[in-house]
Amino acid sequence: MTIPDINLSDEDLLASYSRKKDQRYLAELFSRYTHMVYGVCLKYLQNREDAKDAVMGIYEKLTEDVLKQDIHIFVSWLYVLSKNYCLMQIRADKTKSKNREVWEKDQLVFMESEWALHPIDDNTDHIEKAIKECMEKLKQEQKDCIELFYFNNRCYIEIAGLLNMNVKNVKSYIQNGKRNLKICLEGKNVRQ
């Protein structure tokens, strides 16, 4: 393979990359506009390290998108690609930040709440009768899994073996059973 001629036009480099799939053509083309891409990233992301990471991400995206697009003016197309990439990063960061705030708030409530445990996790005498009544209302698989897990201290694998089902189903029956128990207990005004 030969080194791409640096005197080739953007269009020729793009066509050669599309035809030969040789990264060197695309690398040469991208190197012509790396400063522009970095500037766009810095403008939107307002952080040098994030901008540098984005430049690398844009190049990776470029390797795929160039083959899917009909590009007439590469520099204009690259500018829009870079801008959109940065805007998506900003949107993703905001979503992560929002999700983190919700999670931290939930964790704070969980840690400070007296009602942190599900009633089945805190089996005391004053709710034992209500739990037994609600257990009778569960589907048989949920009831069996919950009894083995909470009252007989069996692990998921043991329960799966005893009930001849897979571990995933055991976890699902326990989770759904706990939810149904909670609904039933709330209907009985237990621990509200």
Q: Write the DSSP assignment of 87-106 as a string of letters.
A: HHHHHHHHHHHHHHHHHHHH
pLDDT-above-90 percentage for the chain: 36
Look at the chain and report how many structural domains it folds into.
2
Q: Among residues 89, 111, 133, which one ends one of the domains?
A: 111
Q: Which of 159, 153, 185 is nearest to 171 (CA)?
A: 159
Please indicate, yes or no, whether residues 30 and 104 belong to a single structural domain of this protein: yes
pTM score, two decimals? 0.49
Q: What is the mean pLDDT of residues 35-54?
A: 93
What is the reported pLDDT for 105?
62
Question: For the segment 67-79, what is each residue's pLDDT rounded down to a tens digit?
Answer: 888 888 999 999 9
Residue 102 lies in a domain: yes
Residues 6+ apart with CB under 8 A from 8: 16, 28
Question: For the residues 148-152, what does the mean pLDDT come to?
Answer: 84
Residue 161 lies in a domain: yes
Q: Is the pLDDT of residue 192 over 50?
A: no
Cβ contact 157:167 at 8 Å: yes
Show the domain range for 176.
119-187
CA distances 18 to 11, 34, 64, Å, are 10, 20, 10
Q: Are residues 158 and 100 in the same domain?
A: no
Of 48, 79, 111, the residue at which a domain comes to its end is 111
Report the pLDDT averaged over residues 36-59.
Answer: 93
Instruction: Say if 192 falls within a structural domain.
Output: no
| Token duo for residue 10 | 């953007």
Say whether pLDDT at 106 is over 80: no
Residue 18: pLDDT band with limits 50, 70, 90 = confident
Q: Are residues 50 and 104 in the same domain?
A: yes
Q: Give residue 132's pLDDT.
A: 82
Q: How far is CA 161 from the centre of its chain?
A: 32
Q: What mean pLDDT, rounded, does the chain reach?
A: 82
- pLDDT tens string 153-173: 888 888 888 899 888 899 999
